[in-house]
């Protein structure tokens, strides 16, 4: 049994992760940390093998640091935090860290196809669309997509009610465009990726590992 604690357990993603862990074979939910639940991350680490963090850009790194310092592996889904800080913390810990800007398989494929297309077509721009409560812009997925693509790729951020997490990569060339589009219908789309990361984080050859694609290959 892998013992799992969730940081941000009362949030939109955290609640889903708790339910997914609860229903998964070989995993047991041992802690729910969230200020809303009056439980700090420090209170759940002693009973956990893995901490999953879906919190805020300004708290995710501190949570990850606390987990790694306590010898607890950490799976981070929060976007917009300082990756260099995570790299530093991972260097001085036996415990492993994993971060994915997007845990949905379709988004991982979108990033892969966009990277491939950018090596052939002249120019590209990214439009990312999210719900208005999202704190960071551009999204972690858009930033990562641009990083993987060739050339300088501008990102446009849209925040509107009714949207979960969508992205379009539009590529242009002589007399044509190509649009690669991913739409998140429901946050359940992220759960298979989160469960996979929880199961694999302890055995990662590299820490931190960034991107779900590394667990799928």
Q: Which residues are known to be catalytic? A: 130, 134
Site for ligand NAD in 160-179 (CB under 6 A): 165
- Of 8 and 124, which has the nearer Cβ to ligand NAD? 8
Q: Which of 4, 24, 30, 78 binds ligand NAD (CB under 6 A)?
A: 78
Q: Which of 79, 93, 118, 167 binds ligand NAD (CB under 6 A)?
A: 79
If 0-12 CB within 10 Å is exposed, 13-18 middle and 19+ buried, where does residue 180 land?
buried
Output the smallest distance, CB 7 to ligand NAD, in A: 4
CA angle 174, 108, 211 (to 5 degrees): 120
Contact status: 23 vs ligand NAD (CB under 6 A): no
d(CA 29, CA 40): 16
Q: Which of 100, 126, 149, 210 binds ligand NAD (CB under 6 A)?
A: 100
Q: Which of 134, 183, 199, 214 binds ligand NAD (CB under 6 A)?
A: 134
- Of 46 and 120, which has the nearer Cβ to ligand NAD? 46
Determine which helix (DSSP H) or strand (DSSP E) holds 141, and give its type and residue range: helix 140-148
CB crowding 194-204: b at 16 or more within 10 Å, else e: bbbbbbbbeeb
Q: What's the Cα-to-Cα distance from 43 to each of 17, 35, 47, 197, rounded to whole Å? A: 19, 12, 9, 23
CB-based contact 72:47 (threshold 8 Å): no
Kindly list the residues in this chain that would bind ligand NAD in the complex (CB under 6 A): 7-8, 10-14, 33-36, 41, 54-57, 59, 63, 77-79, 100-103, 134, 165, 190
């Amino acid at each position: 049994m892998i013992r799992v604690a969730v940081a941000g357990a009362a949030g939109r993603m955290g609640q889903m992760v708790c339910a997914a862990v609860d229903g998964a074979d070989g995993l047991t939910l041992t802690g729910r940390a969230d200020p809303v639940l009056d439980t700090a991350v420090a209170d759940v680490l002693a009973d956990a093998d893995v901490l999953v963090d879906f919190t805020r850009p300004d708290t995710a790194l501190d949570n990850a640091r606390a987990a790694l310092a306590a010898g607890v592996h950490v799976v981070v889904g929060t976007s917009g935090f300082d990756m260099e800080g995570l790299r530093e913390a991972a260097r001085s810990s036996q415990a492993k860290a994993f971060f994915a800007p997007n845990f949905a398989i379709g988004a991982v494929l979108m990033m892969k196809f966009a990277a491939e297309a950018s090596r052939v077509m002249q120019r590209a721009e990214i439009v990312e669309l999210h719900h208005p409560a999202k704190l960071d812009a551009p999204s972690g997925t858009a930033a990562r997509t641009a990083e993987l693509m060739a050339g300088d790729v501008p990102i446009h951020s849209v925040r509107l009610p009714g949207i979960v997490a969508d992205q379009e990569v539009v590529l242009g060339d002589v007399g044509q465009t190509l649009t690669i589009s991913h739409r998140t219908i429901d946050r359940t789309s992220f759960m298979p990726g989160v469960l996979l990361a929880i199961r694999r984080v302890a055995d990662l050859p590299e820490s931190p590992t960034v991107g779900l694609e590394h667990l799928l290959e």
